[in-house]
Structure 1
Amino acid sequence: MLLDRYLPIYHYHEKHSIDVRAPRDAVYRAIREVKYGDIPVLRLLFGIRMLPAWLAGKVKTGASDGDEPFIKRVIRHGFMLLEEAEGQELVVGVVGPFWRPIRNEPLRLDSAQAFIDYDSPRHAKAVMNFQVREQSNGTMTVFTETRIQTEDRAARLKFGLYWLLISPGSALIRRALLRAIKTNAEKERVVYGSQT
């Protein structure tokens, strides 16, 4: 699993999966193309997350682009694409002081190796993947795992309190993402199958 290259040791994590009845290429395309607007809960939860910064005047208001793919959106907002095995797995990562209500912007690192090497006690490192595995019955299972590592005990405590607050919403987002991926991939299969 590519994820292990970037964060083999971690302090917090969550893992979710869903079975999809569609070809691997359709499933992987759905992962890459699932749109921000396909997951309504994202707007609500991201809006809540940004509220302190918005109240402090640190972020601009404006309509978000619901047609933007989720992966492109998270990369635009500070994640980086660490590695991708086409049709199998992609991994994104981010470094920052996530637990702060304001001044929590992610660091901009210039390479996957810089992400691996980064070890400041003031920040946490987080990775998230999407992986496709074929089951014996031909069904594809999509897995997503999120891992977070903190180098410093004080940062770990701060992040732990933050994780208690946000982990239910984080799980809700991941499950909603997986459902949207399943819907989009299976819809593509039906459309393609009706044309043959």
Structure 2
Amino acid sequence: MKEIEMTGEDQSELDRLVPEWHFREIHRIPVSGTVDEVMRAVYATTWAEAPLARALVAITRADVSAERRIVSDYLRESGEVIPSGSEEFLFAGVQSTEDIPRPPGTISEIVRECAEPGILKIGMNVRYAAGILSTETRIFATDDRTRRRFAPYWLFIRCGSGATRKSMLRAIRGRVVREAAGA
């Protein structure tokens, strides 16, 4: 299990939501623009702008219609969007590897507080800071059995997940560039 120890401006809302994790994926890309310009693009970018991401996510039979926005539509339907600062989109999700009822509470409460076995606590962000647009996913298993059961799946999806995230980041950067050029 890994843990982040940051304070002050370096700390993201994801650090507060999921400070410990068993599985983690980070992707970064430089982007020129203001926080407002970049975050506006984060919320506006559609699946049509990220064809590789669209193709990979379509395998899951999710609705990746060309006009649907990746963050604003798709992710909001997949879990809970947590209000965060102007430079970060924050998402929380909960999954079970067992046939157990979901613990009571909102998804973000479960991610922050639940210790019941059989639960995967998921946090994901899209953040723009110091000229870098990044996305990070952290997954914490509440017990060793759940962690061991999830590990093969994580190894299987990791490559496709990374390609999806990189495609999404390039699409957001492309939108920022087009909007700055007035296109």
Q: Which residue of 2 aligns with 1:90?
A: 89
Cα 1:143–1:64 shift into 2, 3 Å = closer
Whether 1:154 aligns to 2:137 is: no
Mapping for residues 138-177 of structure 1, pairs under 5 Å: 140-177=131-168
Q: 1:54 aligns to what?
A: none
Assess if the C-alpha contact under 8 Å between 2:57 and 2:164 holds in 1.
no
- Relative distance call for 1:81 and 1:172 in structure 2 (3 A) is same
Q: Indicate how the Cα distance of structure 1 residues 118 and 185 shifts in structure 2: closer, same or farther if over 3 A, else same.
A: same
Cα distance in 2 for partners of 1:83, 1:5 equals 13
Q: CA deviation at 1:163?
A: 0.6
Counterparts of residues 52-67 of structure 1 (less than 5 Å): 64-67=64-67
Q: How far does the alpha carbon of each residue in 1:5-61 deviate from its partner, in whole angstroms, 9 at most, with x for none? A: 1100000101111111222211111111111222222333223335xxxxxxxxxx9
Alpha-carbon distance between aligned partners in 2 of 1:67 and 1:8, rounded to the nearest angstrom: 34
d(CA) in 2 for partners of 1:37, 1:108:
37
| Whole-Å separation in 1 of the counterparts to 2:164 and 2:114 | 27
Q: Distance in 1 between matches of 2:153 and 2:107?
A: 27
Question: Which residue matches 2:57?
Answer: 46
Secondary structure, aligned partner of 2:83: strand
How many percent of aligned residue pairs carry the same amino acid?
A: 25
C-alpha displacement at 1:158, in angstroms? 1.3
Q: Which amino acid aligns with 1:91?
A: L
Change (3 A) 1:67 1:6: same
TM-score, scaled relative to structure 1: 0.77
Q: Tell me if the contact between 1:95 and 1:125 (Cα under 8 Å) persists in the aligned partners.
A: yes
Segments of 5+ residues of structure 2 without an aligned counterpart are 1-11
Q: What is residue 180 of structure 1 aligned with on the other side?
A: 171
Query: Could you tell me how far 1:108 is from its partner in structure 2?
Result: 9.3
Aligned partner of 1:121 in structure 2 is 117
Q: 1:159 to 1:19 in 2, by over 3 A?
A: same
CA RMSD of aligned residues (A): 2.4
Q: Which ranges of structure 1 fall in alignment gaps of 5 or more residues?
A: 51-60, 135-139
2:5 is aligned to none
Which structure would you say has the larger Rg? 1
What is the TM-score with the length of structure 2 in the denominator? 0.82
Paired amino acid for 2:75: V
Q: In structure 2, what is the Cα distance between the partners aligned to 1:131 and 1:125?
A: 20
Report if the CA contact (8 A) 1:94-1:107 is conserved.
no
**In the superposition, relative to structure 1, how do residues 167 and 107 fare at CA in structure 2: closer, same or farther (>3 Å)?**
farther
Quickly say closer, same or farther: Cα 1:130–1:43, change in 2 above 3 A. Answer: closer
Question: What number of residue pairs does the alignment pair up?
Answer: 169
Amino acid at match of 1:89: E
**SS where residue 85 of structure 1 aligns?**
coil
